[in-house]
């Protein structure tokens, strides 16, 4: 049995206004579980990559966990520049997400800080590790420019989120006249040396460390997570009932 679509959303560089002429489009897609998925305790997860389009498919039962664990790559779905709900938009789950998207994005700020710092560290390591996808950049520049851009952008996001009074949508977006946007695009194009990149990362890391206390003093919104869990469960039940 095929899986019914719930939501698809554009993510990645096109969603931050950091796309270049070579940027492909990335989507995250969420689907309803089938009865077999529930019975056999399976979660849907798959991905497909092409020259122009990448997409990941996930089970809607993971929504609460993904947003609670504060992975910025999944939270940004809530603020996609191109989001589509594949069911009636008056649906309870759709309405709950629309009405609470900023609160959902920031419901676990202490974890969000740790998740972003961890992601930046992974990208810092990736930018120096040769692989088929990164080989040309590493050979040409001495580091992978895309990974370097990610490493710095995530650190900058933490600072911007505080400056934007925890408005996630404003924090991930870079206006055309933003100097930081110009700098991040220049990183992607390999316009800095490895030493300059390392200095940028060190500076951005220090800036993020300076605001760690602001994140850590925020109380996670466990009540909102419980509400999300419940509305997702109700929606899965309604879907299975109709099969």
* In the chain, where the domains are located: 5-107+220-242, 109-216
For residue 57, what pLDDT is reported?
Answer: 92
Task: Please say if the pLDDT value at position 51 is more than 60.
Answer: no
Instruction: Round to whole Å and give the CA distance between 31 and 45.
Output: 10
Instruction: Round to whole Å and give the CA distance between 235 and 239.
Output: 6
231: helix, strand or coil: helix
Compute the residue count for the chain. 243
Instruction: Round to whole Å and give the CA distance between 86 and 94.
Output: 10
Mean of pLDDT over the chain? 93
Angle at 189 between CA 183 and CA 194, to 5 degrees: 80
pLDDT in tens, 129-172: 999 999 999 999 999 999 999 999 999 999 999 999 999 999 99
For residue 192, what pLDDT is reported?
Answer: 98
Q: What one-character DSSP code corresponds to residue 80?
A: -
Instruction: Round to whole Å and give the CA distance between 152 and 158.
Output: 10
pTM of the model: 0.92
For residue 196, what pLDDT is reported?
Answer: 98
Is residue 234 very low, low, confident or very high in pLDDT (cuts 50, 70, 90)?
A: very high
Task: Please say if the pLDDT value at position 50 is more than 70.
Answer: no
For residue 243, what pLDDT is reported?
Answer: 67
Q: Give buried/exposed letters for 141-173 (b at 16+ CB in 10 A, else e).
A: bebbbbbbbbbbbbbbbbbbbbeeebbbeebbb
What is the fold of 5-107+220-242? Beta Polymerase; domain 2 (3.30.460)
pLDDT in tens, 75-120: 999 999 999 999 988 899 999 999 999 999 999 999 999 999 999 9
Angle at 125 between CA 119 and CA 127, to 5 degrees: 100
Task: Please say if the pLDDT value at position 200 is more than 70.
Answer: yes
Task: Please say if the pLDDT value at position 208 is more than 90.
Answer: yes
Residue 127 backbone dihedrals phi, psi, to 5 degrees:
-65, -15
Ranking 38-47, 127-136, 207-216 by mean pLDDT, the lowest is 38-47
For residue 2, what pLDDT is reported?
Answer: 77
Is residue 53 very low, low, confident or very high in pLDDT (cuts 50, 70, 90)?
A: low
With beta carbons less than 8 A apart as the criterion, state whether 34 and 63 touch. no
For residue 52, what pLDDT is reported?
Answer: 57
For residue 1, what pLDDT is reported?
Answer: 53
Percent of the chain clearing pLDDT 90 (strictly above) = 82
């Amino acid at each position: 049995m095929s899986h019914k679509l719930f939501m698809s959303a554009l993510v990645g560089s096109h969603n931050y206004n950091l796309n270049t002429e070579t940027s492909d489009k990335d989507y995250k897609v969420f689907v309803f579980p089938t009865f077999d998925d529930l019975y056999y305790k399976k979660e849907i997860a798959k991905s497909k990559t092409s020259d122009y389009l990448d997409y990941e498919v996930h089970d809607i039962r993971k929504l609460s966990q993904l947003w609670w664990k504060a992975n910025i790559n999944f939270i940004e779905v809530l603020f996609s520049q191109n989001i589509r709900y594949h069911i009636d938009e008056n649906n309870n789950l759709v309405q709950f997400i629309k009405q609470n998207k900023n609160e959902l994005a920031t419901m676990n700020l202490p974890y969000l800080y740790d998740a972003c710092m961890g992601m930046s560290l992974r990208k810092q390591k990736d930018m120096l590790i040769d692989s088929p996808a990164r080989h040309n950049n590493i050979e040409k520049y001495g580091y992978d420019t895309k990974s370097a851009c990610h490493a710095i952008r995530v650190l900058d996001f933490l600072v911007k989120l505080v400056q934007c009074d925890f408005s996630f949508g404003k924090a991930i977006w870079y206006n055309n006249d933003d100097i930081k946007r110009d700098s991040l695009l220049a990183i992607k194009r390999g316009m800095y040396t490895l030493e300059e990149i390392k200095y940028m990362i060190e500076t951005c890391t220090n800036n993020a460390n300076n605001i760690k206390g602001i994140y850590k003093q925020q109380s996670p919104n466990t009540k909102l997570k419980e509400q999300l869990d419940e509305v997702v469960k109700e929606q899965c039940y309604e879907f299975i009932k109709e099969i």
